[in-house]
Amino acid sequence: MFVVLILLTALLADYAIRVLFLAVERMRVERPRYPSMGRAALGRSGELLSSWVVTLQQIGACIAYVVIIGDVLHPIVELTGWGSWVCERWPLQLFLLVCVIFPLCLLPSMDNLKYVSVVSLLLIWGTVFAVVVNGGLVLGDPLRRDQLIGAEMNATNRTSGVCEHSHSGGSGSGSGGGGMAPAPAPAGLFPQEGFLFQNHSNSTAGGDSTSMRMLPKGVGQILSALPILAFAFLCHQNSFPIYKELIDPNPARMSLVGHWSISICCFVYMLSGLTGYYTFLENTESNLLKNFAVQGTYFSLPMDVMRTGFGVSMVLSFPLMVWEARHNLDVLIFGDRPYAFWRNFGLNLGIVGFTGGIGISVSKLDQVLTVVGSTCSPLMIYILPALFYLAPIWGDEKRKKAGGRASGGDGIEAALMDETEASAAAGVLFNVNGAGPDEVTAAKGGCCGGCVSERAMVTTMLGYGLLLIPCCLFVWVLQYLVCAEGSAGSSPICSGFGF
């Protein structure tokens, strides 16, 4: 089921890129971004909606980055034993936010961050490679799993002597820091009770064979996985600069870029997800790196290097997330004004302070990803691109109906002329593929076989997004509020949804 869900999300995300740039060409937006597309398609309200959605999405990503930084880097710092302060992860998060992330966020242009982006990407790829290699080792010798899980459950293998008191009883949370409670894996993606595989914690020296669980325990596990996958495949706000850099940019070329990008991401997600989950089975946590003990196993040293690199990549990527949110807030609050240092300083201080405060107080990564992936991510992938594509068509049809009600030859002629001019201005009659007069006439008439098919597909994507948001939010409330730890068995609705 994991493979089915990830393929479904990848296909929809890929198609959304095509729809987005069909809309760009139809409306002839010179400087395409979500806010400018929203204004062209839906007016001022569309611009405000698009701006706030993108801003909140980036803010949510920043919060998730702060959580990941604590999860990943704190166990390494804990090993140093530099004092009791290393037993809590918030001092490390605060230090990095103030001394590294905030200064990087003050850079006025994204051009200054292009080398940072390349380094971050290489570090992330290194971590994925390490997870896949370890998964291959466990596949060849399942006994390695017992060593990894046993070390992860043993607190003394993860911490220095200074912090042993934080892991009393040797229960070991697997969080690698500060005695925090274990973050459960996002249900439907890496669930603790087994979504892809059934209970394997009893693997013995003989190496028990695994039995696949092809279906989830309940629909709640599917609905809690879809937001995280939507968050993972969201790249659409970053596609506009790429589009402008293309030679002879058009939707077909951009679709090809989208195909390759989404396909690579899909392959990497499936490979790392399956190998990572196969390694730890029902013990897999929402942040996979938290499962790897920092010492005491055959893979601790290489994984510590990769863990550090991944944490550094999150630190370096944080300013890239802030840039879009800061730019949108700047325009929303102050209008389109020239760059000013103190305005830039204040916006960065507000964003970093707000996201850092929430990220430090949150210990469960999947809670952040699910909230953002249930709201902003579906809006940016499924709903807004569909509205950008459909709104001019709806407006054109409305004008045609109004023109058809006009009486008298002169009135009809004037109405048709007004309709043609308005449609051309909206880009509805602009043929993105360089079609001839016949196709333009068909588009003017509003119906040809291809147009109807494209419109039906876009409408379906819009409906999927509109349905996904309330369903996923309902499941989030159910999973984290109604069916909290220890109460799932007392509520039939919790067990019915698989929580």
Q: Say what angle helices 143-153 and 251-280 make with each other, to 10 degrees.
A: 80
Query: For the residues 17-28, what does the mean pLDDT come to?
Result: 91
Percent of the chain exceeding pLDDT 90 equals: 26
- Give the pLDDT of residue 291: 84
Residue 253 pLDDT > 50? yes
φ, ψ at 313 (rounded to 5°): -65, -35
- Give the pLDDT of residue 467: 93
Residue 432 pLDDT > 60? no
Contact residues for 14 (Cβ-Cβ < 8 A; gap 6+): 258, 259, 262, 263
- For residue 427, which of 395, 398, 452, 381 has the smallest C-alpha distance? 395
Q: Which residue has the higher pLDDT, 363 or 202?
A: 363
Q: Are 226 and 369 in contact (CB under 8 A)?
A: no
CA distance 343 to 479: 40
Residue 248 pLDDT > 70? yes
Query: What is the pLDDT confidence band of residue 63, given thresholds at 50, 70 and 90?
Result: very high
Residue 110 pLDDT > 90? no
Q: Which of 108-112, 215-219, 392-396, 403-407 has the lowest mean pLDDT?
A: 403-407
Tell me which range, 108-112, 392-396, 409-413, 487-491, is most confidently predicted by mean pLDDT: 392-396
Q: What confidence tens digit (pLDDT) does each residue in 333-375 have?
A: 888 788 888 898 999 999 999 999 999 998 778 888 888 989 9
- Give the pLDDT of residue 350: 94
CA distance 324 to 238: 9
- What are the distances in angstroms from CA 81 to CA 291, 303, 438? 21, 20, 75
- Give the pLDDT of residue 355: 94
Q: Which residue has the higher pLDDT, 259 or 184?
A: 259
**Tokens 């058009």 belong to which residue?**
250
Q: Say what angle helices 251-280 and 114-140 make with each other, to 10 degrees.
A: 40
Q: Are 64 and 369 in contact (CB under 8 A)?
A: yes
Query: For the residues 185-197, what does the mean pLDDT come to?
Result: 37
* Radius of gyration, CA atoms only, the chain: 25
- Give the pLDDT of residue 153: 57
Helix segments in 362-482, DSSP class H: 365-378, 384-404, 409-426, 437-445, 449-477
Contact residues for 92 (Cβ-Cβ < 8 A; gap 6+): 69, 70, 73, 74, 77, 86
CA distance 223 to 468: 8
CA distance 441 to 387: 23
- Give the pLDDT of residue 192: 37
Q: Say what angle helices 341-361 and 44-78 make with each other, to 10 degrees.
A: 60
Q: Are 480 and 461 in contact (CB under 8 A)?
A: no
Q: Which residue has the higher pLDDT, 79 or 130?
A: 130
Residue 464 pLDDT > 80? yes
Structure tokens at 31: 């400087």
Query: For the residues 463-479, what does the mean pLDDT come to?
Result: 90
CA distance 192 to 154: 18
Using DSSP's 3-state secondary structure scheme, residue 472 falls into helix
Q: What confidence tens digit (pLDDT) does each residue in 220-246 have?
A: 888 888 998 999 999 888 888 888 888
- Give the pLDDT of residue 426: 41
- Give the pLDDT of residue 155: 47
Q: Which residue has the higher pLDDT, 433 or 397?
A: 397
Query: For the residues 162-168, what does the mean pLDDT come to?
Result: 49
Percent of the chain exceeding pLDDT 70 equals: 75
Query: For the residues 63-90, what does the mean pLDDT come to?
Result: 85
- Give the pLDDT of residue 179: 35
Residue 207 pLDDT > 50? no
Q: Which residue has the higher pLDDT, 403 or 191?
A: 403
- What are the distances in angstroms from CA 378 to CA 65, 297, 453? 20, 40, 22
The burial class, CB within 10 Å (0-12 / 13-18 / 19+), for 222 is buried
Q: How many CB atoms lie within 10 A of CB 361?
A: 11
Tell me which range, 95-99, 198-202, 408-412, 441-445, is most confidently predicted by mean pLDDT: 95-99
CA distance 2 to 222: 9
CA distance 238 to 113: 14
- Give the pLDDT of residue 405: 62
Residue 40 pLDDT > 50? yes
- Give the pLDDT of residue 3: 86
Assign 3-class secondary structure to 8-71. HHHHHHHHHHHHHHHHHHHHCCCCCCHHHHHHHHHCHHHHHHHHHHHHHHHHHHHHHHHHHHHH
CA angle 93/94/99 to nearest 5° reads 105
Burial 87-121 (b: 16+ CB within 10 A, else e): bbbbbbbeebbeebbbebbebeeeeebeebeeebe
